Amino acid sequence: MARTKKQKELDMVDSPLVSKGQGIAIGIFLTVLAILFLAPILIVLLNSFKSRLYISDAPFSLPNSKTFVGLSNYTDGAVKIGFFQSFGWSLFITVASVLVIVLLTAMTAWVITRIKSKFTSTLYFLFSFAMIVPFQMVMFTMTFVANRLHLDNPIGIIVIYLGFGSGLSVFMFSGFVKAIPIAMEEAAMIDGCNPLQTFFNVVFPMLKPTAITIAILNAMWVWNDYLLPYLILGTERKTIPIAIQYLRGGYGSIDMGAMMAMLVLAIIPIIIFYLTCQKYIIKGVVAGAVKG
């Protein structure tokens, strides 16, 4: 008896996409890949508990009774670089920059997507072009302009981060806004909402996956950035990446124990933030690319 079309479709759904052997091979490959990515973090963590005299000799060995120094690297490093003050500056700049980038670029993407004109099309291509301009190409000019406009302070650097982070953010938001039915916005306006109410009550809640994705990407970038704060803020208001560099002494000497400990403290907040929000990354990236 000939198999019906429905039975064939059910067989295709029930059949596995990969064989058992292929699944095992993929699992082994991904495990090895995960170990390679996690190995540097584990090495830094292990060495943060060792005496600086033994880190260079045996960087891959576990701490033992001879090399283990407890939390002294953490306390000494925090005192030497003023870790908590630097942590405060990094936290303020990162949180403020990410909030400004997410809010303003979402509004910008909504406007240039919904208003069809040559001006908005030009804006979109300019934002897209900004993604491919390397920072090193404009950093000296940017520093000169920032000094003249008095942006060389913790508030001004937020404006600069907005400029550098807007390209990718507008691009991703625009892709997601195109997927939102315009009928929902029209219904809100018929109910009496003005454009701002429509955006914050209807559009922005639907942008949550993409907004969280953009927040994660920008938070990782701003928190770990060294060059821009160094050029703009100098050494008076040190962020964590700048402060850690002060563990380098004269004639190339480095307090490796304290540096490893401070690196661990520096990556803990961003790892916690990433693990908390990582489930939204793929969802936001896919949602932002559903329509072109």
84 domain-assigned: yes
Give a yes or no: residue 13 inside a domain: no
The C-alpha atoms of residue 39 and residue 48 are separated, in whole angstroms, by: 14
Q: Is residue 39 domain-resident?
A: yes
What is the pLDDT confidence band of residue 16, given thresholds at 50, 70 and 90?
low
CATH of the domain at 122: 1.10.3720.10
Is residue 124 domain-shared with residue 211, that is, in the same domain?
A: yes
Q: What are phi and psi of 15, to 5 degrees?
A: -70, 140
Would you tell me how many other CB atoms lie within 10 Å of the CB of residue 290?
10
Does 80 share its domain with 216?
Answer: yes
Residues 79 and 119 in one domain: yes
Domain end call among 10, 37, 72: 72
| Alpha helices, DSSP H, located in the chain | 5-14, 20-47, 52-55, 72-81, 83-114, 118-130, 135-148, 156-177, 182-190, 195-198, 204-206, 208-224, 227-233, 240-245, 256-277, 279-287
One domain for residues 234 and 203: yes
- The domain tally of the chain equals 2
Query: pTM value?
Result: 0.81
First to last CA, the chain: 47
**100 assigned to some structural domain:** yes
Domain match, 139 and 250 both: yes
CA 134/CA 131 separation, integer angstroms: 8
Residue 160 lies in a domain: yes
Do 161 and 101 contact (CB within 8 A), yes or no? yes
Question: Do both 199 and 224 map to the same domain?
Answer: yes
Residue 36, domain extent: 18-72
In terms of domains, do 141 and 237 share one?
yes
What DSSP line would sit under 178-190, residue for residue? TTS-HHHHHHHHH
pLDDT classification of 286: cutoffs 50, 70, 90: low
Here the tokens at position 192 are 């009496």
Backbone angles phi, psi at 130, to 5 degrees: -60, -25
pLDDT at 289 over 60: no
Is 50 exceeded by the pLDDT of residue 1?
Answer: no
- Tell me the mean pLDDT in the region 21-42: 86
To which residue do tokens 């699944």 refer? Answer: 23
Higher pLDDT, 196 or 52: 196
Q: Are residues 164 and 243 in the same domain?
A: yes
Domain co-membership, 42 together with 90: no
Q: Are 83 and 65 within one domain?
A: no
Structure tokens at 203: 């559009």
Give the Cβ contact number of residue 282 at 10 Å.
11
